[in-house]
Amino acid sequence: MKTAQSIKFLTTREVAKLLHVNDKMVYSLIKEKDLPATKITGKWLFPKRLVEEWLETNILNYQGAGAGRSTDDGVLLFAGSDDPLFQQTLSLFHAKNTSPLAFFANLGSMGGLRCLRRGLCHIGVCHLLQDEHNEYNFGFADQELDKAPVFVNFNKREQGLLVQKGNPKGIETIKDLARNDISMINRPVGTGTRLLLDYEVSKSDISSDRITGYKNEVSRHLDAALQVFSGRVDTAPAIRAVAGLLGLDFLPLRWERFDLLISRERFFEKGIQKFIALLHDESFRSLADSFAGYDISLCGKMLFPDNFKQEDE
């Protein structure tokens, strides 16, 4: 993973020289034209790659692939995976801000990526387990998108199987899903939860054809939890957070990384920066603490694939 020290930053004087302007004009561009910059060290620093892309996106009479409505128009569009903490965070965002209005389309992780590719959303919400099964989202973004987005972590969360309180059917492993007395409800193809379940089934010696209810799907974690809570099914793949909400038991499978994938052309827009800033606010941290099964130690931080440095050199 690439550290902040290994990212190439420019000073104010270097940016002024690159743009052929004076230092004072650089400060104006930060304020008026959203020139990518950070003051986290107490002085202005500029990520070189983002400055170069900012230049490209400000060329007149050219409409790039990421052209669409800016969040400055008053709308912030999310698409992708379902998550209870994320939904509550949108409500918190609206309570603290009158603009922009945030809207979310629950289309699954792959749906979020495809919306990002088509310019239909500003932020894709994803948790896609990669082939090597120890990393998330980077490989899928590389396959689906023409240009790598900015990756910002939202949380880590615990995935597993929901079972009724007391686990009356004695479900212990994925293999138990093939038992004749076990029924389940599933999540749609294209969701990260379904991808994880299929991976776990592939590692076992059972086939999905032997699982009762495998082809029956609901779109949200909470919908899956309600099916188990009501006794309509015995189990469902979902996150620990919804087990805690309904008092269900939970059989853990793994912790996963749940990320926000943000169009580079839009990253420094005020609406997007408002949302990211909320992730560092104490009100959000208190909200996250009210749920079980979340780790927000990386929340709000930019992430990079392990090979990022090698690709840049």
Domains and CATH numbers, the chain: 4-57 (1.10.1660), 73-158+257-312 (3.40.190.10), 162-247 (3.40.190.10)
Listed range (18-32, 53-67, 205-219, 296-310) with the worst mean pLDDT: 53-67
- In the predicted structure, residue 113 carries a pLDDT above the cut 50: yes
Strands (DSSP E) found in the chain: 9-10, 46-47, 75-80, 101-106, 123-126, 150-163, 235-239, 249-262, 294-295, 302-303
pLDDT for 308 equals: 47
pLDDT for 111 equals: 92
pLDDT for 8 equals: 80
Is 131 in contact with 139 (CB distance < 8 Å)? yes
pLDDT for 56 equals: 63
- In the predicted structure, residue 131 carries a pLDDT above the cut 90: no
Band (42; pLDDT cuts 50, 70, 90): confident
Q: Which residue has the higher pLDDT, 294 or 117?
A: 294
Band (27; pLDDT cuts 50, 70, 90): confident
User: Which position has the token pair 């008053």?
Assistant: 74
Task: Give the number of C-alpha atoms closer than 13 A to the C-alpha of residue 124, restricted to the C-beta side.
Answer: 32
Is 183 in contact with 212 (CB distance < 8 Å)? yes
- In the predicted structure, residue 313 carries a pLDDT above the cut 70: no
pLDDT for 62 equals: 40
Q: How far apart are CA 303 and CA 156, in angstroms?
A: 13
If you compute the radius of gyration of the chain from its CA atoms, what whole number of angstroms results? 22
Residue 51 DSSP one-character state: H
- Cβ burial of 241 (10 Å; 0-12, 13-18, 19+) is buried
Find the length of the chain: 313
Mean pLDDT along residues 67-79: 83
Q: Which residue has the higher pLDDT, 9 or 178?
A: 178
pLDDT for 220 equals: 95
- In the predicted structure, residue 67 carries a pLDDT above the cut 50: no
Could you tell me which residues are beta bridge partners of residue 9? 47
Mean pLDDT along residues 139-167: 95
Listed range (135-144, 236-245, 246-255) with the worst mean pLDDT: 135-144
For residue 198, give the amino acid letter: D
Mean pLDDT along residues 40-60: 73
* The model's pTM: 0.75
For residue 171, give the amino acid letter: I
pLDDT for 122 equals: 94
Q: 117-152 in b/e burial notation, b at 16+ Cβ within 10 A?
A: bebbbbbbbbbbbeeeeeebbbebbeebbeebbbbb
Q: How far apart are CA 168 and CA 248, in angstroms?
A: 11
Q: Which residue has the higher pLDDT, 234 or 130?
A: 234
- In the predicted structure, residue 262 carries a pLDDT above the cut 90: yes
